[in-house]
Structure 1
């Protein structure tokens, strides 16, 4: 079959890498893709939110399946667009409905869903510019640190954690009154802070059945020791060493099952990934957030550990037959380290020549923000490359990635040298 994959990051390169290994994938189109996807698939220069252009490609190329990588087209309703079009409704879309995508598109929607279904999460309240002073008063009732979340999509940067009450109140006013995160912060959710260690649980569901994919942990801060600004993610490891069978059973019984059941009870069409951001509070898992797609850079460690044919897996999702599939997972650990442009996540330069990719051995280089030009590969984003390796444990996998990073170069290249640091000992 011909498959169309939407997106242009490291997540999409990892998905493309896996999809093209399937004998059922005769042709893979990636829109818009990057220099990495161009080497294994056909890039199509189309925006992921231009649904009419996507329709044209799907009909021209006789696409049988659309795999949605990023959140924007999901939140804007690409699943519904296909369902409501007579020419498209029989084409499989891997991704939730517009209503299902509100689990990521609105922090308030997600919190209400969690509480309705008795799923453990932090106490919260939400505020708008009309109630900003009530929000400031609410902050006074909490113990520091203070967690402020823009309600809408803010490219992974809409969460602020502050230790001073006055700073939190100032931040709230900036978010609501000065539109610090644009329309995303027209409403702000304030949560109690949960102390613990984070992990990500990935679920693939057809709306009735589900499979729990390998766990992963990503590293969001730009600086060593988890310091500095939040990024889209600087690296990840899978599996998470502390996610033992006891914790995973709690996650499944208290969080995964009620989530999938809740979607069914509320008649929310959902055929795709659920990324559950969790925090382990003294052995008790609690939900920080939902995402409605795979994480990036977690995809770069989760997908390589899947032994299953990804096209078969997605076909089972589309047909609501996921219960007939046995998930096969590579027992080895995987680690990925992200190479980013100097200055990221603030101002950075693009167009830097990347060298050394061909000399990498025993690791996979996934392109995140790259483009091909005049026979060269250039940086084209804040996060540029993800170097993924396998090992008997995560330390071995991380070490292998760092060894191969020494062979790579582009001007201003930066990476975290301590991925996995908090899991030692």
Structure 2
């Protein structure tokens, strides 16, 4: 079959790398893709094709799908899902037979609105932090609610804010000032027209990934990622600086609790609420004592967790996608590599604030024994250059996460671009 992957980051390069291994795939397109997806070869030897189309240019995507006889669209990022790309396909007679991997617009609100997700969890008895949400007109009520809470205070923009809409503050006055900034001054634009304030849960975080056809589901390997720019988990939040899988502190009984208390109620909740869902669910969790709580849902795979999760999946990804489309996921036997995987992300100097692009990247060809996934890269005059904040991920296997990390760090030292930075302490807290 002919497949189109939407997106241009590390997650999409990993999808491309994994999907390209399937004998079922005749042609593979990535829009817009990056320098890494451009260099990927299919099992047949044919090269992957990058197409310069934005992920939210639905009409451009339609034209490509019709022109290239594409059978399936795999949606990487959240934006097109929240904007309703799946519905766009279903409502167009020329496109309605094309499979779309990703939920419809209504279900995508699980990520598109923090309040929607919280209400869903409450309705279905899924453990999460206590919360209330406020609009600009309810600013004083928001102040009063903050006064009832113990610090630290958690403020979340209700809408999509590219992973930057969450503030955790220790000072009550600062929390009130930031709430006003978000609601009145539109600190995160439309995303913070409504703000969810929730109690702070103290524990260690991890990521659970599920793929569902709407009725059945498979739980993929779990991962732990590192969001802060600075070592020791300090500094500003980023899209993610590294990840490991499996999660050393998630033993069998804890994983069973996740399955029974969170995954099963989530899948049955989607059915009860008639939220049409075919695709990936990311469940951001926190382990409080020995109990799992949900921090958030995302309606797609996480990044850089995809770079450690998919390398551990042995099952043909095209088979999984086909089963999602046909509602036969219960027939798939998920095989997982027993080895650990660890990824390190190299980022542009200055990221997650202002950074320069167009820096030449050297030495990727000398890396052996590790997988190199491009995130923010482009091809320019035959050279690979930086085009984003997060630039390249190096993923390695090992008998445990420490051995995998050691190999990733050894190979990361071979990479170079001007002002390159990476955290040297991924896994420090495990």
Length-normalised TM-score, structure 1: 0.99
Alpha-carbon deviations, 1:155-187, whole Å to 9, x = none? 011111001111111110101111111111110
Does residue 378 in structure 1 map to residue 382 in structure 2? Answer: no
1:133 CA displacement: 1.5
Does residue 388 in structure 1 map to residue 395 in structure 2? Answer: yes
Partners of 2:181 and 2:378 in 1: CA distance: 36
Equivalent residue number for residue 36 of structure 1: 36
Equivalent residue number for residue 253 of structure 1: 260
The within-5 A match list for 1:225-374 is: 225-374=232-381
1:137 CA displacement: 1.2
- Counterpart of 2:134 (choices 118, 127, 131) is 127
Question: How large is the RMSD of aligned CA atoms in angstroms?
Answer: 0.5
Does residue 219 in structure 1 map to residue 221 in structure 2? Answer: no
Partners of 1:53 and 1:372 in 2: CA distance: 22
Alpha-carbon deviations, 1:340-378, whole Å to 9, x = none? 001000000000000010010100110000000111100
The within-5 A match list for 1:120-199 is: 120-199=127-206
Partners of 1:114 and 1:298 in 2: CA distance: 23
Partners of 2:145 and 2:349 in 1: CA distance: 38
Partner secondary structure for residue 421 of structure 1? coil
Alpha-carbon deviations, 1:296-324, whole Å to 9, x = none? 00000000000000000100000000000
1:267 CA displacement: 1.1
Alpha-carbon deviations, 1:217-273, whole Å to 9, x = none? 000000000000000000000010111110111000000000000000111110000
Alpha-carbon deviations, 1:61-116, whole Å to 9, x = none? 00000000000000000111111111111111000010110000000000000000
The within-5 A match list for 1:44-55 is: 44-55=51-62
1:145 CA displacement: 0.3
Equivalent residue number for residue 85 of structure 1: 92
Q: What is the number of equivalent residue pairs in this alignment?
A: 423
Q: Runs of 4 or more off by more than 3 Å in structure 1?
A: none
Does residue 9 in structure 1 map to residue 9 in structure 2? Answer: yes
Partners of 1:262 and 1:285 in 2: CA distance: 18
Partner secondary structure for residue 106 of structure 2? coil
1:136 CA displacement: 1.1
1:210 CA displacement: 0.4
Partners of 2:407 and 2:319 in 1: CA distance: 31
Does residue 108 in structure 1 map to residue 79 in structure 2? Answer: no
Partners of 2:188 and 2:38 in 1: CA distance: 33
Partners of 2:140 and 2:365 in 1: CA distance: 57
Alpha-carbon deviations, 1:353-404, whole Å to 9, x = none? 0001001010011000000011110000000000000000000001100000
1:211 CA displacement: 0.4
Structure 1: segments with no counterpart, 5+ residues? none
